[in-house]
Structure 1
């Protein structure tokens, strides 16, 4: 079943609440928290302003609900691969092959979310804003969602490269490796122009995924060899 942002029951009240969350997500992404008004959000949702007070009390609480929903969605996106990876880590220290497999799966998962027109497109701008200029609510995303996923990927990188887990170097290396996927969001307009296409389709996704897999192999092999030589 396709993942859904802010899942709710068919109940009329819950559907109205979900419309407000989706409208808020759009307006917060387009204009930022400070510049998005509750009236604009209500109009976008086809609701009256009083509905925001009824369901969320105020704009701050509404934004909190939006970030919590984003976090739950991202956890769902990575849920299967993250759960399997954690189970394998519990069984003991995994070998390099398994660690590289985890890295590839996590990168392919994010790549697919960015390029295949999923719900990720709706959360992209809010995520970018929170990274560029973190709000007071950033910890809602970081503590429950971003940090656990980053730590999991960091552990896989450490095993795959033979480096010390959770060292500053591995944390930075992890961010750099994962950044290869994020660039297709951050610099999408540039790659579309370079390729001369209007959007990245499934063939591009497959080609990018193969390149990322190749990079994982080359990076890990190179660092492992470097460690042996030292």
Structure 2
């Protein structure tokens, strides 16, 4: 008598299943948040069996954590964070402008950028236990780099309250283009942000960052 066994998924099939769940998770979690997404809803959106979620990620929370981690890693990988403090105010200004141009571009120039920005905004407004990981991997290094350059331009201590607040405001100049994208598209009479538009926005964000640092 034959006994039935469950064949383990091939590496290619397993990778495809994981990718489907990550893509579906990004869309659903960005729109509904962690608590608003049901396991069945997630599996149906991904086109996979519901059992694939605990098998590959340990549960819905595991998918959410993986989506957050991938989002933070993808954006962080696009940022050219300086390795050392700026030697002069002029160097700091050049680095700040380039850093903010890169951050704005990373937030806006991919097909997934709108969902990623919304997901990160949700995590800021309603932090889950996964917030600390993306804070350490993305938000904190970026915030420190911007603050350090602002402080050098203003000849302040890099941990000064003024420099930290200015850095936060400067970062917000890029983030607002991502989270308020739909309002901008309507004002521009456009259906999407073209590469040229993203470049224009990135240049503007870089220049306004310098103005805010020097004011």
Give the TM-score taking structure 1 as reference length. Answer: 0.81
Match of 1:193 among 186, 197, 202: 186
Check 1:203–1:20 CA distance in 2 against 1; reply closer, same or farther (3 A cut).
Answer: closer
Q: Distance in 2 between matches of 1:179 and 1:38?
A: 33
Structure 1 unmatched runs, 5+: 1-9, 223-230
User: Aligned Cα RMSD in Å?
Assistant: 2.1
Aligned to 2:168, what secondary structure does the other structure show? helix
Post-superposition Cα deviations, 1:164-198, rounded to whole Å, max 9, x if no partner, equal 21112111100101211111112222222222222
**Offset, 1:36:** 0.3
CA shift digits 1:21-71 (9 cap, x unpaired) = 221121111111111011111111111111111111212222222222222
Q: Secondary structure at the match of 1:49?
A: coil
Deviates more, 1:156-165 or 1:192-201: 192-201
Q: Distance in 1 between matches of 2:145 and 2:198?
A: 24
Specify the alignment match of 2:164 in structure 1.
171
Q: Which residue of 2 aligns with 1:77?
A: 78
Name the structure 1 match of 2:58: 57
Q: Is the 8 A contact 1:107 1:181 kept in 2?
A: yes
CA distance in 1, matches of 2:206, 2:130: 34
TM-score for both structures, normalised by structure 2: 0.86
Alignment pair present for 1:111 and 2:104: yes
1:95 positional shift: 0.9
- Between stretches 208-217 and 37-46, larger displacement belongs to 208-217
Q: Separation in 1 of the partners of 2:57 and 2:210?
A: 48
Which contiguous aligned blocks of 4+ residues in structure 1 show a shift greater than 4 angstroms? none
Deviation per CA, 1:90-113: give whole Å up to 9, x if none: xxx511121112211121112222
Deviating more after overlay: 11-20 vs 113-122: 113-122
Matched, 1:162 2:155: yes
Judge conservation of contact 1:25–1:126 (CA < 8 Å) in 2: yes
When the two structures are aligned, how many residues end up with a matched partner? 206
- Asked if residue 218 in structure 1 is aligned to residue 207 in structure 2, the reply is no
CA contact (8 A) 1:100 1:216 kept: no
Residues 115 and 201 in structure 1, CA contact (< 8 A), matched pair in contact too: no
Deviation at 1:118, TM superposition (A): 4.3
